[in-house]
Structure 1
Amino acid sequence: MKKIVVCGLSNRALKMFIEPILTRFYHENQVVGLLDFDARRHEICVETYPELAGVGFYTPEQFEQMVKETGATTVIVTSRDDTHVDYILRGLALNLDIISEKPMVTTSEDARRVLEAEQNSKGKVTVAFNYRYSPYHIKIKELIQSGKIGKVTSIDLNWYIDTYHGSSYFKRWNRERAFSGGLSVHKSTHHFDLVNWWIDQQPEEVFAFGDLHYYGQESELNPSPRDGRHCGTCSEQQNCSYYRRWFGRSDTTAAKDDHLMAGQDLGAYTNYRPDSCIFDSEIEIEDTYVATVKYNKGALLSYSINFSVPYEGYRLAINGTKGRIETQEYHAPSRTPFPVPEQTIDFIPLFGSKEIIHVVKNEGGHGGGDPLIQEDIFLGPDPARPYEVLAGAEAGTYSIAVGEAVWKSTKSGQPIKIKSLLTEKEEV
């Protein structure tokens, strides 16, 4: 029986981890401790899952006390991104297993610290990269692993975040690099991990450009240069294109946040507003990136991401010495302003006829990936699977290093060596 403590009672913690433990995996897993700095989050957790009423609640400084009193064996880390490293290191120091939401941490330096701590611990770090578990992404992995396209030579990955989803990052804490690492870490590490896993190569060097075009005070879409506005109470709602695109004049859920539990309002949590203005002057992270990544076995990645696009999804092409894989996903059809086709995977041999592959879908969040990763996390990896899907600390580290390199290259105008980010700096 895994005795699990949960650090950070976010909506992600409740729906992705706590609920499946209570409903599907309770025979092998038990929540024995809950931790958060905000007592209101604990109240909402218990209101949502009354069966947790008798489980002890702790604050961050009581982590070691919680572990001792509960006899915990496993720590689930679902707090704000920049706090992950603290709980991971403290848990490893006590030889506990760690399950961390992605990104594992927010800097390469902290990732290196996690790797070192894991080497000196009996505990193991797992990173919840649920994108790997999409049936489409698993099928792409199988096609590459089977040798169907030969040696991978290049990857083109263009990711699109729509105006609903993209603007949400600029309303919350994600817009502060100190908390999130910027979106090349908070969001793009998902995508970098996918590519690293698909092609089974390690990133070596990154060159990138990035900028802030759509959000922040200088945006041409900003109704006025005034700071301190909030969507729920703003007098300029009808002059804001982002607001008008998604909410009507009488819409009382205009400041709805997908990271709040259903039915909660803007005051659900202490000192947390998920509807800060996307045009505030303090915003300085980028909303657009293009990057090239060189891998240790010769592959090259051409990557882009834009956080203000009319529809959501991605376009992918993977080239190899024997052929090419292509696919396009429309992630949120209900928010796409035109009919979208069903996603398929095309295999085009270098010399021959195209094959169109229809993938068997899976129910559940994130394209059917969430239920599958939950099984691997709480029951152990599927022994019938001939390859690893569940990610560890090394995978988390390389994804973060690429994301940080994208930002640092953007700022410096220079290529960034991944090794330079993961090597301990000597004190002068």
Structure 2
Amino acid sequence: MKKRYAICGLSGRALGMFAKPITTTFSESCEIVGLLDRDSKRFELFETRFPDLTPVETYGESEFDRMVDETKPDVIIVAGRDDSHAKYIIAALRRDLDVITEKPMVTTGEDCRKVLDAEQASKGKVTVTFNYRYAPIHTKIKEIIMEGKLGRVTSIDLNWYLDTHHGSSYFKRWNRLRELSGGLSIHKSTHHFDLVNWWIDQRPVEVFAYGALNYYGPDSEWNPSKEDGRHCETCMHTEDCAYYSRWNSRKERFQVPDDHLESLEEGKKYPYTNYRPDQCIFDSEINIEDTYSATIKYNRGALLSYSVNFSLPYEGYRLAINGTKGRLETVEYHAPGRTPFPTPKQTIDYFPLFGSKETIHVVHREGSHGGGDPLLLEDLFMGEDRRRPYKKLSGALDGAYSVSTGEAVWKSVKEHRPITIDEVLAKQQDYTSSGEMN
């Protein structure tokens, strides 16, 4: 019997990451039985992409219970706008259904606590799709630490860079409003915080951070004219906008497509109601930061020095992990096609505390997010590989620690003080969930 899935939120991610593999690679054991979204045009988009699934029932944003009653799904996939996640995760758990949710799990520490409470009272469980864990290079780092080659982890340096194409895309879309995304320390950095939590098997306890809006918004030195309400497609200042000119020719607009958008109908750029993903990156409504530097303390003594910048000449990260027995270093360049210089294949350098350097080569895989997405999908739709000696799929507690760290970052920026994770979660008890980090 096929496992039955209903999707809440027909984002580009929902279509490409979940609907497509369910209807192709995993179609023998999985099927989509219901779709829910606030925008009827997204149903039309779904039908364009998957014409064979036109009979699948569709529901409005307030019809969750009716969808469950009529379609009887086994699993709810939550992949809409970030601020919509909590209500559907909690609604599914109250119906004792399993949940697969796109990251971030939710956008606030308060909603994290509500999800954890709902999961404890439910027969269902939450899985958060942290695909960065599945990139082969990241899996190898986990294994090196588990082997004890670093000893007890004492500190981590993680510097993440987004280029002017990818970084600016968040400021064209709904992500630029904290009330919708939680800010980029949540929407984006939860990926990074979860990786560190998973690698070192420690939980965050306190955060101190600085942050600013340096590149975007009306006061940016790159703003050609202080004027709200512009859109890239019709803007009269595109030739004077360095961000636009860098990625678009004068002849062809949108020459380099946005990685996060999936326009599925020929000649139809914006197939949504009252929403355009080409809003001006210099609008005054932007209320999030584009630069962070944070120090995070963990429960077993490790310290993370973290930074992220959303407007740099190239994309990637630099990582170092220090321990009582050695040090690990690696550098990754994302999107080599957008990087203005040759980029090497990523390797890992291991330095024992007393001894010579070892360079570790990793077999890279095809697929997005460093080859992680195809491997994640196998675990989601076939079950976790039982031969693996450690847990890889993320649970609700993992999602909660990553979100609460992100909220602690921006709150520390705003309040100029250290923020504890317990404070963000308003923690009243020790949760034990899929993450098992007590």
Deviation at 1:263, TM superposition (A): 5.0
Distance in 1 between the 2:125 and 2:30 partners? Answer: 17
Judged with a 3 Å threshold, the aligned counterparts in structure 2 of structure 1 residues 357 and 169 are, in CA distance, closer, same or farther, namely same
- Residues 175-194 of structure 1: pairs in structure 2 closer than 5 A: 175-194=176-195
- The residue number in structure 1 matching 2:244 is 243
Which residue identity is paired with 1:240? C
Distance in 2 between the 1:260 and 1:57 partners? Answer: 22
SS state of the match for residue 185, structure 1? helix
SS state of the match for residue 420, structure 1? helix
Distance in 2 between the 1:34 and 1:421 partners? Answer: 33
CA contact (8 A) 2:127 2:394 kept: yes
Tell me, yes or no, if structure 1 residue 58 matches structure 2 residue 55: no
- Residues 130-141 of structure 1: pairs in structure 2 closer than 5 A: 130-141=131-142
Which residue identity is paired with 1:379? M
Tell me, yes or no, if structure 1 residue 268 matches structure 2 residue 278: no
Of residues 367, 376, 384 in structure 2, which corresponds to 1:381? 384
CA contact (8 A) 1:32 1:55 kept: yes
Distance in 2 between the 1:118 and 1:94 partners? Answer: 11
- The residue number in structure 2 matching 1:26 is 27
Which residue identity is paired with 2:214? H
Distance in 1 between the 2:272 and 2:256 partners? Answer: 14
Which residue identity is paired with 1:76? I
Q: Quick check: 51-60 or 191-200, which moved more?
A: 51-60
Of residues 353, 357, 374 in structure 2, which corresponds to 1:354? 357
Deviation at 1:135, TM superposition (A): 0.2
Deviations 1:304-345, CA, capped at 9 Å, x for gaps: 000000000000000001100100000111000111111100
TM-score by length of 2: 0.96
- Residues 391-410 of structure 1: pairs in structure 2 closer than 5 A: 391-410=394-413
- Residues 223-234 of structure 1: pairs in structure 2 closer than 5 A: 223-234=224-235
SS state of the match for residue 62, structure 2? helix
Of residues 278, 281, 285 in structure 1, which corresponds to 2:281? 278
Deviation at 1:255, TM superposition (A): 8.6
CA contact (8 A) 1:317 1:326 kept: yes
Judged with a 3 Å threshold, the aligned counterparts in structure 2 of structure 1 residues 96 and 347 are, in CA distance, closer, same or farther, namely same
SS state of the match for residue 380, structure 2? helix
Which residue identity is paired with 1:89? I
Gaps of 5+ in 2: 429-438
Distance in 1 between the 2:172 and 2:134 partners? Answer: 29
Judged with a 3 Å threshold, the aligned counterparts in structure 2 of structure 1 residues 236 and 254 are, in CA distance, closer, same or farther, namely farther
- The residue number in structure 2 matching 1:207 is 208
Deviation at 1:272, TM superposition (A): 1.2
Distance in 2 between the 1:176 and 1:420 partners? Answer: 23
Moved over 6 A (4+): none
Gaps of 5+ in 1: none
How many percent of aligned residue pairs carry the same amino acid? 63
Distance in 2 between the 1:42 and 1:129 partners? Answer: 26
After superposition, the CA RMSD in angstroms is 1.1
SS state of the match for residue 63, structure 2? helix
Deviation at 1:288, TM superposition (A): 0.2
Distance in 2 between the 1:412 and 1:94 partners? Answer: 39
Distance in 2 between the 1:390 and 1:254 partners? Answer: 36
CA contact (8 A) 1:232 1:255 kept: no
Distance in 1 between the 2:234 and 2:259 partners? Answer: 18
Which residue identity is paired with 2:275? Y
SS state of the match for residue 356, structure 1? strand
Tell me, yes or no, if structure 1 residue 221 matches structure 2 residue 222: yes
Deviation at 1:22, TM superposition (A): 0.8
- The residue number in structure 1 matching 2:330 is 327
Of residues 298, 301, 315 in structure 1, which corresponds to 2:301? 298
Deviation at 1:420, TM superposition (A): 1.1
SS state of the match for residue 207, structure 1? strand
Tell me, yes or no, if structure 1 residue 337 matches structure 2 residue 340: yes
- Residues 141-156 of structure 1: pairs in structure 2 closer than 5 A: 141-156=142-157
SS state of the match for residue 60, structure 1? coil
Deviation at 1:254, TM superposition (A): 5.2
Distance in 2 between the 1:34 and 1:81 partners? Answer: 17
Deviation at 1:424, TM superposition (A): 5.4
- The residue number in structure 1 matching 2:368 is 365
TM-score by length of 1: 0.98
Deviation at 1:271, TM superposition (A): 1.0
- Residues 164-175 of structure 1: pairs in structure 2 closer than 5 A: 164-175=165-176
Deviation at 1:261, TM superposition (A): 2.1
CA contact (8 A) 1:255 1:275 kept: no
SS state of the match for residue 67, structure 2? helix
